[in-house]
Amino acid sequence: MANSYEKAGVNLEAGYEVVRRIKQHVASTARTGAMGNIGAFGGMFDLSALGYKEPVLVSSTDGVGTKLKIAFAMDKHDTVGIDVVAMCVNDVLAHGAEPLVFLDYVALGHNVPEKVEAIVAGVAEGCRQSHCVLVGGETAEMPGMYAKDEYDLAGATMGVVEKSKLIDGSKVKVGDVLVGLASSGVHANGFSLVRKIVQDGRHFYSERVPEFGGRKLGEVLLTPTKIYVKPVLELIKQVDVHGMAHITGGGFDENIPRFLQEGQGLEIREGTWEIPVVFQMLEKWGGVPHREMFNIFNMGVGMVLVVDPSEVQKTIDILTAHGEKAFAIGEVTDKPGMNIILK
């Protein structure tokens, strides 16, 4: 019997159908500097169109992790694409960089064009929110590597910042104030623990939770990661931001100290912002020590900015005007280490 790619589990026609379906989503992310079109071997961008004198390129790559397991359980695939963009563009933003291009990678056990289109539609939405162009990507059907109904999703971005305006923490000084920006929920970190808490507590993603206003648990957990690009880029035009941190895996403890200089430390006061109900429920259901929650999750703070005390109110006012919830959560001290003053 003659063999074929289709008999091996790969549907070439489904691949062609995916390309046809996602063209409109890719086109919706166009911006100044974008070149070429979908189907080329490489994605292109004309950096000279932006007028940078001494451009520094800042790159990041990331995935969505086991949050995808909840998307599988809920059969909801139109928001995880926002997550993968957010995880990357918020990282380059932490250095003051403007994200320019994005590339995605979807690997799946069985190519269902409608599902891939939903995923890429989410990626395109994330790109529109961050004003970067989706220049290309890869959809790989890999039977035997992934279960039939499962997939993995990753991406990469490249951003640019004027060398003189690069934010690298070198300006951070003792007495500077930490301004936190509200997160939209769990974002895309800590989901291995989230899933264990749900499983051990015999909860179900389809159950409606009174504390969530009757919304399904899975829907709350799938809330996409907040993208901070547009408001923060507008802020740094008006305020001298000394440092930034994107609160991802490792929570407060791993991420916020990244901008510190030798001999500096942090004091953060719980109660200066509102911790979302989803974290309160996870802590309660899982019996997680309260201090440990800050070492795993964002606890309601998705991004932290460091500014001079004289610019705190201006910073909060600008971010508020752009629809963000911002609050002073602590300061830089001369005592090395992370001191979170718990309520």
Both 205 and 329 in one domain: the answer is yes
**Over pLDDT 90: what percentage of the chain?**
86
Both 209 and 132 in one domain: the answer is no
Range with top average pLDDT, 31-40, 132-141, 284-293: 284-293
- What's the CATH code of the domain at 134? 3.30.1330.10
pLDDT of residue 10: 64
* Cβ atoms within 10 Å, residue 109: 18
Both 35 and 109 in one domain: the answer is yes
DSSP letters, 177-242, are EEEEEE-SSSTTSSHHHHHHHHHHTT--TTSB-GGGTT-BHHHHHTPPPPP-HHHHHHHTTTS---
Higher local confidence (pLDDT), 53 or 30: 53
Cβ pair 30, 100 in contact under 8 A: no
Is 153 in a helix, a strand, or coil? strand
pLDDT of residue 163: 97
pLDDT (mean) for 20-28: 75
Domain contains 172? no
- Of the three residues 165, 200, 229, the one that is the final residue of a domain is 165
- What's the CATH code of the domain at 301? 3.90.650.10
DSSP 248: -
- Of the three residues 112, 145, 165, the one that is the final residue of a domain is 165
Count of structural domains within the chain = 2
**Which structural domain range is residue 81 located in?**
12-165
What does the pLDDT look like over 142-185, one tens digit per residue? 999 999 999 999 999 999 999 999 999 999 999 999 999 999 99
| Range with the poorest average pLDDT among 13-22, 53-62, 267-276, 328-337 | 13-22
- Answer yes or no: is pLDDT of 8 > 70: no
pLDDT of residue 212: 95
Cβ pair 141, 15 in contact under 8 A: yes
pLDDT of residue 127: 97
Domain contains 50? yes
- Answer yes or no: is pLDDT of 3 > 80: no
- Answer yes or no: is pLDDT of 220 > 80: yes
pLDDT (mean) for 105-124: 94
Q: Which two tokens stand for residue 293?
A: 């929650």
Both 139 and 203 in one domain: the answer is no
**Whole-model pTM above 0.85?**
yes
pLDDT of residue 284: 97
- Give the number of residues written for the chain: 343
- Of the three residues 110, 135, 165, the one that is the final residue of a domain is 165
CA distance 16 to 22: 10
Helices (H), ranges, the chain: 12-27, 67-74, 80-93, 113-130, 191-200, 217-221, 229-235, 251-255, 277-286, 290-293, 312-321
What does the pLDDT look like over 232-269, one tens digit per residue? 999 999 999 999 999 999 999 999 999 999 999 999 99
